[in-house]
Chain A
Amino acid sequence: MKVRIDPEICQGQGRCFSIAPQIFDFDELGNGVVLGDGLLTSETIELARLAQANCPEHAVFIEDSP
Chain B
Amino acid sequence: MSDVVDESVAHKTPVQDFAADWDHTDPQWVNDPYPIWDDLRERCPVAHTERYGGGWFPTTHEMVTSIANDTEHFTSRMVVVTHNKFPPNFIPAPVGGAPPITSDPPFHSIARRVILPAFAPGPVNALEPQIRALCNKHLDEMVGREFVDGGTDYAQFIPPGVIATMLGFPSEDEEIFRDIVHLVLDLIDLPTEVRGPLFEPMGEYFAKQIDDHIEYPRDDLTSYLLNVEVGGNKLERQHVAGTMVLILVAGIDTTWSAIGSAIWHLAQHPDDLARLVNEPELMPVAVEEFLRFYAPVTMARLVAEDHEFFGSPMKKDDWVLLGFPAANRDPKVFADADKFIIDRAANRHAAFGLGIHRCVGSNLARLELRVAIEEFIKRFPRFELADRDAVTWAPGQVRGPRHLPLRILP
A interface residues with partner B (beta carbon < 8 Å): 11-15, 17-18, 26-30, 50, 53-58
Contact = CB atoms under 8 A, between A and B. Distances in A.
A11 B284 contact: no
14 contacts: A11-B356, A12-B120, A12-B362, A13-B352, A13-B362, A14-B363, A15-B288, A18-B284, A26-B121, A26-B122, A54-B347, A56-B348, A56-B349, A56-B350
A11 B362 CA distance: 11
Chain A contact residues, majority secondary structure: loop
Contacts, number: 55
A53 B362 contact: no
A35 to B, nearest CB: 14
A56 B354 contact: yes
B100 to A, nearest CB: 13
B345 interface: yes
B366 interface: yes
B116 to A, nearest CB: 4
Contacts of B358: 11-13, 57
A26 B354 contact: no
A66 B350 CA distance: 34
Contacts of A30: 116-117, 119-121, 363
Nearest to A25: B121
A61 to B, nearest CB: 15
B280 interface: no
The bracket for how many chain B residues form the interface is 20 to 34
Contacts of B288: 15, 54
Contacts of A13: 352, 358, 362
B194 interface: no
Interface in B320-371: 345-350, 352, 354-356, 358, 362-363, 366
A52 to B, nearest CB: 9
Contacts of A26: 120-122
B137 interface: no
Given A53-B348, A56-B348, A28 B354 contact: no
Interface string B38-77: 0000000000000000000000000000000000000000
B113 interface: yes
Contacts of B117: 28-30
A11 B363 contact: no
B121 A11 contact: no
Given A30-B116, A30-B119, A56-B354, A14 B366 contact: yes
Nearest to B117: A28
A6 to B, nearest CB: 14
Please indicate which of the listed interface residues A13, A15, A28, A55 has the most CB atoms of chain B within 10 Å of its own CB. Answer: A13
A53 to B, nearest CB: 4
A54 B348 contact: yes
A34 to B, nearest CB: 16
A14 B349 CA distance: 12
A51 to B, nearest CB: 10
Interface in B91-125: 113, 116-117, 119-122
A12 B116 contact: yes
A29 B113 contact: yes
